[in-house]
Chains A and B, each alone.
Chain A
């Protein structure tokens, strides 16, 4: 028990404000559970929302590797997501144009391989240049991928989309909704643990250096191009995995799912959660999706009905308002990165004096209150 609580205090909750943030999140969770138990919220609906949030969390984790770790500006989140979704749909749906009906594992594998390949293709000409080149190229890529899917009907079924995508692991003794929710939790756990290991390491440290000052990293002998390429590929692959998962969640996919709005939401999630922080990416995604999905039901509230205005289309406005609030009161996002990027196994013995691991960067609590230097 104490091991769990010390893990929580060292890895999840670093200071008083974070404790409050997690308290609020916990409260919402309790409310949702109560909602399900009392029959206000259908369990199927909630599980679907969990799967959806999980998918957005994966996308945010992917973008966080690119933008948060390495400072790479990628505006084609939706495209890599779409690549993953289409790989899964085309290979597994029996009535897709390819008509293969393969096992979902092959869809996921194809998503990984194809997204990695395209990421390298985009990275080669842009990552040696200034950062804005990737931004522009990725904007182009998003449109190109969408146009290809729309127009290459022979391969992609065009605007009619692909249906009949199989459920994942339907042999599990769970409902389909519970299975997908469990799978996304599993995917997030795997990705999160992977990222945690690579981030707090010399590798993550070089990326953090590149993000601040690429010339300095070069001057110290780091092949910044290779490091950026790795971050870009890893992030893109994670996005494609999220896409493949979505195909099996929604069981249908068409090109209209690849709208740039997805990219926008993921950027918001990462910034809101705290750029560079894995915890932040997950929480940011949950908050953004909660607002987006939650505001769907605004019109059902009696009080708002009496006002006679349609609030649901104003959802983007709510997201915008929230960002302004958070940036006003918590500039670095909800859960900004706190870790020193030092290989954890190496610091235990050699850390100087009695400094606790979390106190290594001047402990967040005191310095963010006392040293308000910005």
Chain B
């Protein structure tokens, strides 16, 4: 609302999709996010790693608006979104998935997928009664898109299944596909291959890469080192709520601080 609320917003270049400035969040005495400033360039797959408890998920929650930050700013496409609700940020093109797959009781995969696109005409009761044919047309297009996307992700055969009957990996795939149907400017994936078998994890890697080649920007938290090192560039390393370093996979791999953080963090 306020034009000069935050100067940085105007200074962002066009090719920065997501930017955080000095984000802070504490839970009681525990500082989970301690002045984090990161930038995600358009068209990249940016990785985010860090030992357990480094504050990666917390940072995602701050960026997507699920947690309120104590200080700092978030901008999307140069626009300040710090005071917006999660759904408003999603409408601005900032769409996330969750670390633990979300179960939609009583919904088929098709149905669960169709929640993605939006805003849909058929989400307005008024349209349901007074422009039914528009709703029909849009719904048809969305059903078709769902079918194509599931087919592309090689899970077309699951379309009629209850969405709660899928394996962990299949669920992650559906979530990725659904998040993509929102037509996001940046997709935030929280551990997209956690608990996924290696074959499916490779598939997921391939699909992310394909979408990226078509221009989709990603910010991906991942614990699986080989996975993220192979997929992402640059990689941001988080430790104890702070950005430890940022660089190419090779730079990250050979950085002493990173090795130490991981050895120190993964102690027992």
Contacts and interface: CB of A to CB of B under 8 A. Distances in A.
A216 B143 contact: no
A221 B182 contact: yes
Contact of A340 (B105, B111, B118): B111
B96 interface: yes
A215 interface: yes
Interface string A221-265: 111100100100000000000000000000000000000000000
Interface stretch (B48-56, B83-91, B258-266): B83-91
A219 B98 contact: yes
Interface in A265-298: 276
A251 B95 CA distance: 55
Interface in A319-367: 337, 340-343, 345-347, 349-350, 352, 355, 359-362, 367
Interface of B: 64, 66, 85-87, 90-91, 95-98, 102-108, 110-112, 114-116, 118-125, 128-129, 132, 135-137, 139-140, 143-144, 147, 159-162, 165, 178-179, 182
Contacts of B115: 205-206, 209, 216-217, 220, 222
B160 A201 contact: no
A227 B122 CA distance: 12
Contacts of A350: 140, 143-144, 147
Nearest to A276: B106
A373 interface: yes
Contacts of A341: 107, 111
A203 interface: yes
B261 to A, nearest CB: 29
Interface residues of A, number: 44
Nearest to B121: A202
A213 interface: yes
B177 to A, nearest CB: 12
A342 B140 contact: no
A78 B23 CA distance: 48
Given A202-B122, A343-B122, A343-B139, A219 B86 contact: yes
A198 B125 contact: yes
Nearest to A203: B123
A356 to B, nearest CB: 11
Contacts of A361: 108, 160, 162
Contacts of B140: 346, 349-350
